[in-house]
Amino acid sequence: KNSFVTTRVLREETWRAAAYRAVEDDLHISEDDLEEALVPEANEDNMCHSVTEGKTVSSSFPGIKSKYRTHMVSWKIKEDKVHVFQSCGLPLNLEKRESNPFKCDFTIAKQMGSDTKTLYWRWVSSDEAKSVRRFISLSEVTPDERWAKYASKREGPVDFPPSERALALLLEKCNIKVAAFGVDGCR
């Protein structure tokens, strides 16, 4: 889905603790191994961390304004510690990538209730990551766009869409061409 490793920062949790937790939960790399593998600059907040804040209508509680803080963390790995990330497809093997499903570098199996979901991961350059990054000011995103974004990431039933446009956005995210409905016999 062209997304980053993400998580919510829990109450009374620092951004750094949340980032370590996300890496451990999603990539299965312990905090100790991660700390040892990162370059010294990773301990300097101004070198690896930025925050975007915005106020917007909550996607979970329509009609209620909420304040959001998005933390972007960018860490560099020491050359001699790349082996720590071997299970995560490092060092890169571009030949292997071509033969992997979805041209991914590695997969992670994640338990979702009684089902196991396979997540396909790919390493990208920092320039490509910046182009994928859609962390625009949340006040510029409409409630319909926000609802469609969160609904597309949910497993199972989703809340009723706030509008017809929100439903259309969700269907488009699922590669369903809404504009084709009723054209040339399409339903």
If one counts every other C-beta atom within 10 angstroms of the C-beta of residue 5, the result is: 13
Structure tokens at 172: 């488009």
What's the pLDDT tens digit per position in 5-34? Answer: 888 899 999 999 999 999 998 899 999 999
Q: Is the pLDDT of residue 140 over 60?
A: no
Q: Is the pLDDT of residue 137 over 50?
A: no
Only one residue has tokens 């990330």, namely 85
What's the pLDDT tens digit per position in 86-136? Answer: 989 888 899 999 999 988 999 988 888 888 988 889 888 777 776 665 444
